[in-house]
Amino acid sequence: MSEVVEAPVSSNESLSKYVQEMSIDGDEPPPRYIVKEFPNPSPPSASIPVIDLSLLSSAEVLGKLKSALSSWGCFQVVGHGILSSFLDKIRDVAKQFFALPTNEKVKYARASYDIEGYGNDPVLSDKQVYDWCDRLFLNLIPQDSRKHHLWPTNPTEFREVLDEYSVKMKLMVELLLKAMARSLNLEEDCFLKQYGDQEVMAARFNYYPVCPRPDSVLGVKAHSDGSVITILLQDQEVEGLQMFKDDQWYRVPILPHALVVNAGDQMQVMSNGIFKSPLHRVSTSSENDRISLAVFHLPNAEVEIEPVKGLIDEKRPQQYRKLKNYAAINFECFQSGKIALETVKI
């Protein structure tokens, strides 16, 4: 199952109550939030690789990057040059936004047919198990795709901080995609040039309220991201993210000023299956609420992507077909219970 980015919502149905309201009212999670098969509710912590971005010119660090992405499909990045105080600031404005009363937040509510804006899990399928999470989803790039009326003006610095963060994320994505190419002995622009300046970037602020049933309810169900690359700012104090590797779930520890980077499904396609788009999920907590910010980077829906030629040979034939608009593929698969990546395999 993959995460839907930029997909339309299939029905006009909306969930009646925000998760935050259920949490405040002390409601039992309704049956549609209960995960029937919930393997490893309390998995061990894992030391996922930590990469220093300022050392990416070293062959050793590039080797570590390649190994991280071909095993875990993710790593924590440090040495990224973004001030800790700025990361704290963005967490702070997000916290302030979700702490506003509902009647203030709904000024930015998503339309029932859209995912952009403030809201709870969009209803995409009648078999869907809902996530214990409210979110604020905003397009960042291209600039003219921004729906400014959905960008909070409370707290007052929200827009300015998010805009500044988007500039930093764009630079970081470029650096990472070039390093990822070099780690495979490819020309450094081989991923980026597939979609030129036709890139899309979107931010999803996730708010996970306290949940009375952490053993049977997930903040986000197991999924892989449909992006090329995702950069995640975790909560500074509350863990929740879990990664799946070698048939086992692992908790991702918090490194307060690191960002978690993971390859998305479209990177698995472009790297001809060498880099893995990891399955991940988010647990809930009965003690603490949690906030995270995911920035998804992907090509515009019109652009075709395909496995890089230099990664195709007799030993490793082409594994995925040329495709475009992965979000739409993802969306259809979500509704029919299929795994999107499987459907684009050759």
Ligand X SMILES: O=C(O)CCC(=O)C(=O)O
Closest CB 206 distance from ligand X, rounded Å: 5
Residues with Cβ < 8 Å from 111, sequence gap 6 or more? 117
Closest CB 281 distance from Fe ion, rounded Å: 8
Closest CB 210 distance from ligand X, rounded Å: 15
Distance CA 195, CA 267 (A): 12
Would you say 3 or 6 has its CB closer to Fe ion? 3
Which residue of 241, 298, 333, 344 would you call a contact of ligand X, by CB under 6 A? 241
Closest CB 116 distance from Fe ion, rounded Å: 17
225 binds Fe ion (CB under 5 A): yes
Distance CA 223, CA 291 (A): 18
204 binds ligand X (CB under 6 A): yes
Closest CB 307 distance from ligand X, rounded Å: 24
Number of residues that make up the chain: 346
Q: How many residues bind ligand X (CB under 6 A)?
A: 13
What DSSP character marks residue 253? P
Q: Are 290 and 235 in contact (CB under 8 A)?
A: yes
- Candidate segments 2-10, 96-104, 129-137, 165-173, binder of Fe ion by CB under 5 A: 2-10
- Candidate segments 93-101, 105-113, 170-178, 232-240, binder of ligand X by CB under 6 A: 232-240
Identify residue 191 by its one-letter amino acid code. Answer: F
Helix, strand or coil for residue 201? strand
Q: Which residue has the tokens 């919930």?
A: 38
Q: How many residues bind Fe ion (CB under 5 A)?
A: 2
Would you say 190 or 268 has its CB closer to Fe ion? 268
Q: Are 34 and 239 in contact (CB under 8 A)?
A: no
Residues with Cβ < 8 Å from 156, sequence gap 6 or more? none
Which residue of 65, 280, 297, 308 would you call a contact of ligand X, by CB under 6 A? 280
Residues with Cβ < 8 Å from 189, sequence gap 6 or more? 178, 181
Residue (of 304, 115, 73, 103) closest to 203 by Cα position = 115
292 binds ligand X (CB under 6 A): yes
Beta bridge partners of 34: 217
**Strand (E) or helix (H) holding 97:** helix 84-99
Residues with Cβ < 8 Å from 182, sequence gap 6 or more? 62, 188
Would you say 62 or 232 has its CB closer to ligand X? 232
Residues 61-90, one symbol each (x = binds Fe ion by CB under 5 A, - = not), give ------------------------------
Closest CB 296 distance from Fe ion, rounded Å: 8
234 binds ligand X (CB under 6 A): yes
- Candidate segments 23-31, 71-79, 149-157, 234-242, binder of ligand X by CB under 6 A: 234-242
- Candidate segments 31-39, 149-157, 194-202, 233-241, binder of ligand X by CB under 6 A: 233-241
Q: Are 328 and 305 in contact (CB under 8 A)?
A: no
Task: Give the footprint of Fe ion on this chain (CB under 5 A).
Answer: 3, 225
Question: Site residues (CB under 6 A) for ligand X?
Answer: 3, 204, 206, 220, 225, 232, 234, 240-241, 280, 282, 292, 294
